[in-house]
Structure 1
Amino acid sequence: MFAYLEQSAGVLDDAGDDELLRSELARHAAATTLAAFATTSRVARHRPAQSAPAPATVRRALDFIAENAHRPITVDDVAAAVHISTRGLQYAFRRALDTTPAESLRQARLDGAHRDLRSGVPSSVAAVARRWGFSHPSRFAAAYRGAYGVLPSVTAAQHRR
């Protein structure tokens, strides 16, 4: 993890005052450190996905994520915005959408990067990735391809003016 963070220091130097990227790297460092220790929180609890419309809390959380994905928000911030505990929000997302708030936030950021690449504004794929909190262009490209079926460079090339 420390080698990864040292390697990412170069990305941070290029990022300047990119608060979103800095906070994502800090969260990644904390998550990696916590994952190194055994814990009982990894026990998966399977529940069938809810078939009714998502509860109001989940809908408000999705709205908050959509409106603030460009900012360095965390799942804790989303939970506070909808007045629920972080764990309660995670349970609500799992039950209603069979996903997590973190996955929804990541997808919202991918959607933002996708919009930027389709806008035709001249910018490198790496710059767009950094703007949306993705520190490694190769990981961003893999996530982008998984979500949209093409590489981000292809999207950017198709929409350049």
Structure 2
Amino acid sequence: MFLDHEGKKVRFYEDLIHNKVVVVNMMYTACTSICPANTASLLQVQKALGDRVGRDIHFVSLSLLPELDPPAALRAYMQRYGIGPGWTFLTGARAHMEKVRRKLGFYDTDPDADADVFRHTGMLSIGNDRIERWCMMPALSATHQIVRSIEEMA
């Protein structure tokens, strides 16, 4: 069980992934390295997709430091960046966050690098659960490239 940015309990797969086209990334609100640039990139993608976000396509951001990112911190982050509807931010027990992170492929094969949250990469996992198709790409790819990858999944 996870908590979204509103403090509502959600089930990751059943509520956010099942039968949906999703764009998933990892972040934490105090990040000063890659997260702000990734968020800005995804905001451009959200704008390019317009009202499809929240209807046909869903964005999900999971905290890498859930103990420091309660729902209020996630809401403040969303407000700071002007993030609109259709984009869910999640926090929860570290064990649950780690399980999802690894299952989605957000990990480094070097255990030391993987254990260092401050060395995280800026990747997106884009998927369509209905057809069981997933891909990963850099969050800092050109907006049109990310949009094209999402549309190919939809």
Do these two structures clear the TM 0.5 threshold for a shared fold by scoring above it?
Answer: no
TM-score by length of 2: 0.28
Please identify which structure carries the higher helix content.
Answer: 1
Please identify which structure carries the higher strand content.
Answer: 2
TM-score by length of 1: 0.27
Which one scores higher on RCO, CA 8 angstroms, separation ≥ 6? 2
| Structure of higher CA gyration radius | 1
